[in-house]
């Protein structure tokens, strides 16, 4: 779930670079294995996998095997495939991972997720088939900006990486939906929309801004200097806090229901 970002960084003027050295607060130093770590968007992937756990834990009876299968499927589809496809489309994370490796990761991730989904169909039934169709379509349409980018929007992000994982996990546990699951999906949608609202300006500051200066005039006549760090810090503090908070809520639910 990370947050996929298919927008390529804007071209920088000659001799200038973004005001921040790293393309994301969780980005590791460039280099082979570290590039793959960065590609996973660890806090965002954990955040969106938490919706899987929350959805499963809303079921009247939580079964560990379908929960683990759903987690595995979404890790492969979102954590690996979506992020690899996103990096292939514009290199927003500035990794040096070869294009062939990104294409391979996308294919393997989607194939693995589909395999786990098909295994789920044999246990739960045909009710999972729509999820197996919609899931890969969302990954490809969002990150490759297909259909004129109609899916690559704030609403598309919130639906694909917030509501959809929660509903899928609940259905995998119960074979259907409930009013409670739909309401919880609305909460996941809202949290993902908030994530998008914070991360979009943060990405702009980190990846596309070469210079930012200014000042804020206060009512007492003093002024406060404004730079990129001044704007970026509260955005990323909120993103960190939200990511860990959602993960802890999901962990608490899992411990309570499975313990």
Predicted local distance difference test score (pLDDT) of residue 19: 65
Residue at 82 is within a domain: yes
Distance (Å, rounded) from C-alpha 104 to C-alpha 99?
9
Residue at 68 is within a domain: yes
User: What angle, rounded to 10 degrees, do the helices at 129-143 and 99-124 form?
Assistant: 160
Task: Report residue 221: phi and psi, to 5°.
Answer: 95, -10
**3-state class of 176 per DSSP?**
coil
Residue at 131 is within a domain: yes
Residue at 6 is within a domain: no
Q: Residue 152: pLDDT band by 50, 70, 90 thresholds? A: confident
Residue at 177 is within a domain: yes
**With 80 as the cut, is the pLDDT of residue 18 above it?**
no
Predicted local distance difference test score (pLDDT) of residue 178: 97
Residue at 241 is within a domain: yes
Distance of CA 56 to CAs 51, 65, 93, 165, Å? 9, 11, 32, 10
Predicted local distance difference test score (pLDDT) of residue 149: 79
Distance (Å, rounded) from C-alpha 92 to C-alpha 23?
7
**With 80 as the cut, is the pLDDT of residue 250 above it?**
yes
pLDDT in tens, 73-101: 999 999 999 999 999 988 999 999 999 99
Residue at 100 is within a domain: yes
Mean pLDDT of 246-255: 98
Predicted local distance difference test score (pLDDT) of residue 21: 74
**With 70 as the cut, is the pLDDT of residue 66 above it?**
yes
- CB 121 within 8 Å of CB 73: no
Task: Specify the DSSP element, H or E, that contains 127.
Answer: none
Distance (Å, rounded) from C-alpha 186 to C-alpha 189?
5
Task: Report residue 43: phi and psi, to 5°.
Answer: -65, -35
**3-state class of 12 per DSSP?**
coil
Predicted local distance difference test score (pLDDT) of residue 31: 85
Q: Residue 16: pLDDT band by 50, 70, 90 thresholds? A: low
Which carries the bigger pLDDT value, residue 146 or residue 205?
Answer: 205
Percent of the chain with pLDDT over 90: 82
- How does DSSP classify residue 8? P
Percent of the chain with pLDDT over 70: 92
Distance of CA 257 to CAs 57, 58, 125, 127, 250, Å? 7, 9, 24, 24, 11
Domain that holds residue 38: 32-258
Residue at 132 is within a domain: yes
Q: How many domains does the structure of the chain reveal?
A: 1
Question: How high does pLDDT run on average in the chain?
Answer: 91
Picking from 38, 37, 73, the residue whose alpha carbon sits closest to that of residue 52 is: 73
């Amino acid at each position: 779930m990370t947050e996929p970002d298919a927008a390529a960084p804007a071209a920088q003027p000659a001799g200038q670079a973004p005001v921040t050295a790293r393309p994301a607060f969780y980005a590791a130093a460039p280099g082979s294995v570290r590039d793959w770590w960065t590609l996973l968007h660890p806090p965002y992937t954990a955040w969106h996998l938490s919706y899987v756990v929350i959805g499963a834990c809303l079921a009247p009876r939580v079964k560990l095997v379908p929960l683990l299968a759903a987690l595995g499927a979404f890790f492969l589809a979102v954590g690996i495939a979506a992020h690899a496809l996103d990096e292939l489309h514009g290199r927003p994370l500035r990794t040096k991972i070869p294009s062939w490796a990104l294409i391979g990761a996308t294919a393997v991730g989607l194939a693995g997720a589909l395999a786990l989904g098909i295994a789920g169909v044999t246990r739960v039934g045909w009710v999972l088939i729509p999820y197996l169709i919609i899931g890969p379509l969302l990954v490809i349409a969002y990150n490759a900006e297909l259909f004129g980018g109609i899916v690559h929007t704030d609403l598309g992000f919130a639906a694909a990486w917030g509501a959809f994982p929660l509903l899928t996990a609940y259905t995998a546990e119960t074979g259907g939906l409930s009013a409670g699951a739909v309401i919880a999906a609305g909460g996941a949608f809202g949290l993902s929309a908030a994530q998008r609202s914070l991360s979009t300006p943060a990405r702009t500051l980190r990846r596309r801004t070469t210079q930012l200066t200014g000042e804020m005039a206060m009512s007492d006549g003093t002024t406060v200097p404004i730079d990129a760090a001044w704007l970026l810090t509260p955005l990323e503090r909120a993103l960190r806090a939200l990511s860990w908070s959602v993960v802890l809520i999901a962990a608490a639910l899992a411990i309570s229901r499975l313990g």
